[in-house]
């Protein structure tokens, strides 16, 4: 099974609401990265959080990391229709190997 | 724009044929990874190259092979294509100073095997 597993698989919200996605993993990591993918396109890097960090912000994005629970969350505040996409977490080991989950599909309704 | 370019963007091959996909890394990056992404799934790690040497491989058969060139561009070759090889193939580059570096993806190559 995947190292990183996102939850929920699908999320549908209204514009202006907040969206929270979770990622769980199994083994030790160096860092965890969140990506966005629009349908049929490449992955766009959103944010990287290192294993010694607990929280990071970037614009409307807030990422937390709990290494004791081996989990991370991505919060998108004040969502917009343009945020509609699939979101993936990738865990990166100390050897530089990255593993992705199957993603959360976010739909933001105008 | 990530600075990672892939070609071709789309292609159709027949079962049993061979395919070569190409990737130009972001300038200054010495590490390239290839991923296969089937519809509705996350990217699956195929292998990684660091300074022209394979530096890790996922659960893919030997008919998936790769190369990294001195300018850090890369190729993914797949022999004896099977229908299940139909997927989006993603190339990603990074700078392996330590593993805490951002991975940048290209737009991918869509392969359809018929």
- Residue B23 in 3-state DSSP? strand
Compare CB distances from B103 to A95, A98, A103 and report the shortest one's residue: A98
Q: What phi and psi values does residue B100 have, to the nearest 5 degrees? A: -90, 45
Quote the pLDDT of residue B99.
55
pLDDT tens figures, B34-52? 999 998 899 999 999 988 8
Q: Do B103 and A93 touch (CB under 8 A)?
A: no
Between A48 and B96, whose confidence is greater? A48
Q: Is pLDDT above 70 for A2? A: no
**B40: region left, alpha or beta (phi > 0 left; psi from -120 to 50 alpha):** left
pLDDT-derived band at A62 (thresholds 50, 70, 90) equals very high
The angle subtended at Cα A69 by Cα B42 and Cα A50, nearest 5°, is 65
Residue A35 in contact with partner chain B when CB distance is under 8 A? yes
Mean pLDDT of A72-96: 93
Residue B76 in contact with partner chain A when CB distance is under 8 A? no
Nearest to B90 by CA among B5, B1, B3: B5
Residue in B with minimal Cα distance to A48: B102
Contact partners, residue A76, CB within 8 Å, separation at least 6: A18, A19, A20, A60, A61, A83, A106
Residue in B with minimal Cα distance to A43: B105
pLDDT in tens, chain B (114 residues): 778 999 999 999 999 999 999 999 888 888 899 999 998 899 999 999 988 899 889 999 999 999 999 888 999 999 999 999 999 999 999 876 555 677 889 999 999 999
Quote the pLDDT of residue A4.
67
The angle subtended at Cα B93 by Cα B50 and Cα B91, nearest 5°, is 105
Q: A20 pairs with which residues across the strands?
A: A75
Q: Is pLDDT above 50 for A1? A: no
Between B26 and A29, whose confidence is greater? A29
Cβ atoms of B109 and B7 closer than 8 Å: yes
Mean pLDDT of A41-47: 91
For the ranges A14-18, A19-23, A28-32, B7-11, which has the lowest average pLDDT?
Answer: A28-32
Tokens at A50, concatenated: 């290192």
The Cα–Cα gap between B105 and B32 comes to 10
Q: Is pLDDT above 90 for A27? A: no
Residue B43 in contact with partner chain A when CB distance is under 8 A? yes
Q: Do A98 and B100 touch (CB under 8 A)?
A: no
How many Cα neighbours within 13 Å face the side chain of B106? 28
Residue A30 in contact with partner chain B when CB distance is under 8 A? yes
């Amino acid at each position: 099974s995947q190292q990183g597993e996102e939850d929920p698989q699908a999320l549908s919200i209204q514009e202006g609401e907040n969206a929270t996605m979770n990622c769980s993993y199994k083994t030790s990591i160096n860092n965890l990265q969140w990506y966005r993918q629009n349908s049929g396109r490449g992955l766009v890097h959103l944010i990287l959080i290192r294993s010694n960090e607990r929280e990071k912000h970037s614009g409307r994005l807030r990422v937390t990391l709990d290494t004791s629970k081996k989990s991370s969350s991505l919060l998108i505040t004040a969502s917009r229709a343009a945020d509609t996409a699939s979101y993936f977490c990738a865990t990166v080991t100390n050897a530089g190997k990255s593993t992705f989950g199957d993603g959360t599909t976010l739909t933001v309704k105008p | 724009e990530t600075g990672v370019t892939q070609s071709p963007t789309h292609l159709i091959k027949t079962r049993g044929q061979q395919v070569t996909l190409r990737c130009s890394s972001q300038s200054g990056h010495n590490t390239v990874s290839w991923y296969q992404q089937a519809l509705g799934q996350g990217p699956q790690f195929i292998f990684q190259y660091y300074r022209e040497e394979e530096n890790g491989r996922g659960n893919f058969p030997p008919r998936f092979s790769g190369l990294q060139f001195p300018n850090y561009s890369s190729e993914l070759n797949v022999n004896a294509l099977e229908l299940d090889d139909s997927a989006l193939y993603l190339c990603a580059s990074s700078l392996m100073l330590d593993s805490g570096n951002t991975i940048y993806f290209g737009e991918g190559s869509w392969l359809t095997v018929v």
